[in-house]
Amino acid sequence: MSDTKKLVVVVTRGCDDERSSVAWSVANGGIASGYQVTMFLVSSGADWARKGAAVNARPNPLDPPVTEMMQNVIDSGGSIFVCPPCAMVRGYEKEDLIEGAELAGSTAMLGVVSEGAKTLTF
């Protein structure tokens, strides 16, 4: 097991739900605290990764824009995994996703968990 602190944040809510902005805020707090962060977007949470979807979303007006928090996850070396079946149900393919997001299912997420990641779900 690596000495790197790891955090997996599972996002189940879409762009219109304040709980999902909390997920991105907590992830960014994890980054600031030295965690390597993996986001796992499932159900309507997969909508966050669709190009353009997060541009106008700002569910919590006291948080930075979610697009900035998402980019910070990517820039910090974190991962944004999008559940393949959740994307497929919404008609999303790889080319529909933002740069830095990847179609990766529970096996990929559980691989990070098996390396000692803490997990949070929103």
Convert the pLDDT of each residue in 68-113 to its tens digit.
999 999 999 999 999 999 999 999 999 999 999 999 999 999 999 9
Q: Is the pLDDT of residue 56 over 90?
A: no
Residue 99 or 17, more confident: 99
Identify the CATH number of the domain in which residue 90 sits.
Answer: 3.40.1260.10
pLDDT bracket for residue 1 (50, 70, 90): low
Q: Is the pLDDT of residue 64 over 70?
A: yes
- Cα atoms in the Cβ-side hemisphere of radius 13 Å centred on 76: 24
Q: How far is CA 44 from CA 59, 84, 96, 113, in A?
A: 15, 12, 15, 22
The predicted structure's pLDDT at residue 52: 95
Q: Is the pLDDT of residue 2 over 70?
A: no
What are 65's two structure tokens? 């824009």
Contact yes or no for 11/122 (Cβ under 8 A) = yes
In a domain, 101, yes or no: yes
In a domain, 46, yes or no: yes
DSSP letter string, 21-55: HHHHHHHHHHHHTT-EEEEEE-GGGGGGGBTTTTS
pTM of the model: 0.94
In a domain, 1, yes or no: no
- The arithmetic mean of pLDDT across residues 36-43, rounded, is 98
Domain with 93, as residue range(s), is 6-121
The total domain count for the chain is 1
